[in-house]
Amino acid sequence: MRKFWLMAAAAAVLSTPVVAAPSAKDRAALSGAVKAAHATSVKRLQNWIALPTIANMGINHKEGAEYMRQLALDAGFQQAKVITTDGVPGVFATLDAGAPTTMAIYFMYDVKHYDPAEWSSPPLEARIVDRPGEGKAIVGRGAVNQKGPESAFLAMLHAFKDSKTKLPVNLVLVAEGEEEIGSTHFSQIVLNPEVKPAIEKAVGVIIPSASQGPDGDVTLSLGAKGVVELQLISSGEKWGRGPKNDIHSSNMARVENPAWHLVKALNTLVADDGYTPAVEGWFENVKPLTARQKQLIAENAASTDEAKLKASMGVQHWIKDEDLRTSLERLASQPTINIQGIVSGYTGPGGKTVLPGRAEAKIDTRLVPDMSKDEMVAKLKAHLAKHGFGDIEVNVTGGYSPTQTDENSALIKAETLTLKNAGINYTLYPRSAGSWPGVVFTGAPLNLPAGQYGIGRGNGAHAPNEWFLIESSNPKVAGLDEQAMLYADFLYTVADLAKKK
């Protein structure tokens, strides 16, 4: 840890503006508190991983919210309460430090489901393992997405509390337990009559994230695509052309098959190339990349090892065999319609000669500015009806519109200046191809800058053996303690920039 921050401090003195920081005494106190509580911070993360909140399976909705509420109180928030919604509850907490500036923090504590048989260690055990060339990491569901980075933020708050150091900003926390199913009811939490006025005071919103690559560089995304998750269901009963239940496959000679009906409907959603959305009006409100956004992508491409990137994804070619820069432009600018999976009839070992009465496809669509969730759902339904598939049920399970934040906003300036003063290289990127519900903050009525922020490293979100680095053997990459200290520096930077405004 000491080596990491000595390198950072040297780089900062030579190359970047100086902002108000904690006194040498306060910084030493904070750093000492972080180090002293390292084992406790790791155990806190392990305990949190052991309690999975899985929204799409109805697991630990109430328990997850109550656990999050207690985590906030333990970290120094003076009040924290569970906010009910029409679906999964969330948490709202405030920490009044008597400061003139307020910062908002977004947490998600739900996780994707998992199959223990696919993991090298039990996914809820949060076992600590050695990663050759990187250090010690926790392996567990939710380790990097997002309980690890959020635990680093909590470790920072505990350091302020333990060292009796005054926070430079007030904090407002909003947390949800259904991000993994599209944050269906999250806006009800944020726009709650008690919550909204508190968030409106904030200069911006961050979600703690582990954003460092293997070389220690950070990618700061200025936005994220929106997402809509849907089920398309074809049933003989609703179609009126196939069986109500599975029947013997010999009847295919005289009874139509709902599975084929669904396949034909899916085929109309994309062009013959297999990836370009073909829904009428889908590109009507797509906002092209600006010259500045293309410049940022070109800079990112120039610093990326394309061969390593392809190897990490297990792919050999980009669409149309495009070069890396072009593929990155496509990744940031293009809306998509993706099939996650198709289920129908018998899928067990061997064969079972049935004609299924029902077929279901799980799909997701990724949206870019200026598309919206409601617009896209309406266009999809209209498209299916126009092409003779109006009987197919469209079940929207979650989603939200895209989010975007100006790189000249006070939030992004605070983020970049903190990284500069820590001597950490970073690149700006127009928007992440993944999604988070930032539009709840960046859109009306709040219109706040918001984004993912943090250092540290991890991988495997939504996959087996998800991991998060807690002790780094690479001086350029942060472990848990270094992440906590960067969040402290960030809060001081936010306070200083607000004071100078």
Confidence of residue 25 (pLDDT cuts 50, 70, 90): confident
* Segment 231-260 mean pLDDT: 97
Neighbouring-strand partners of residue 482: none
Other residues' Cβ atoms within 10 Å of the Cβ of residue 254: 6
Question: How far apart are the C-alpha atoms of 414 and 103, rounded to whole Å?
Answer: 12
Question: How far apart are the C-alpha atoms of 357 and 487, rounded to whole Å?
Answer: 54
Per-residue pLDDT tens digits for 328-345: 999 999 999 999 999 999
Is residue 186 a contact partner of residue 90, using CB atoms and an 8 Å limit?
yes
Confidence of residue 24 (pLDDT cuts 50, 70, 90): confident
Question: How far apart are the C-alpha atoms of 456 and 4, rounded to whole Å?
Answer: 12
Give the pairing of strands 90-95 and 170-176: antiparallel
Domains of the chain: residue spans and CATH: 2-224+403-500 (3.40.630.10), 226-286+335-400 (3.30.70.360)
Check pLDDT > 70 for residue 120: yes
Q: What is the DSSP code (8-state) at residue 153?
A: H
Question: How far apart are the C-alpha atoms of 481 and 483, rounded to whole Å?
Answer: 5
Quick one: tokens of 188? Answer: 């009800």
Question: How far apart are the C-alpha atoms of 59 and 111, rounded to whole Å?
Answer: 10
Q: Which of 485, 495, 497, 493 is nearest to 32 (CA)?
A: 485
Question: How far apart are the C-alpha atoms of 142 and 477, rounded to whole Å?
Answer: 20
pLDDT value at position 23? Answer: 76
Q: Which of 470, 496, 492 is nearest to 138 (CA)?
A: 470
pLDDT value at position 22? Answer: 74
Q: In percent, how much of the chain has pLDDT > 70? A: 96
In order of 7, 63, 299, 342, 415, the CA distances from 88 in angstroms are 44, 11, 41, 27, 31
Residue tagged 């989603």 (tokens): 399
The helix-helix angle for 2-15 and 410-421 (nearest 10°) equals 110
Alpha helices in 276-348 (DSSP H): 291-302, 306-313, 324-333
The SS3 of residue 239 is helix
Quick one: tokens of 344? Answer: 């129908």
* Segment 228-246 mean pLDDT: 97
Q: Which of 289, 380, 368, 302 is nearest to 335 (CA)?
A: 368
Give the pairing of strands 127-131 and 135-139: antiparallel
Mean pLDDT of the chain: 94
The per-residue DSSP string of 55-91 comes to: GGGTBSHHHHHHHHHHHHHHTT-SEEEEE--SSS-EE
pLDDT value at position 21? Answer: 64
* Segment 182-193 mean pLDDT: 96
The SS3 of residue 14 is helix
* Segment 299-317 mean pLDDT: 93
Q: Which of 208, 266, 205 is nearest to 233 (CA)?
A: 266
* Segment 277-291 mean pLDDT: 97
pTM as predicted: 0.91
What b/e sequence results for 60-85 when a residue is b if at least 16 CB atoms lie within 10 Å of its CB, and e otherwise?
bbeebbbbbbebbeebbbeebbbbeb
Confidence of residue 312 (pLDDT cuts 50, 70, 90): confident
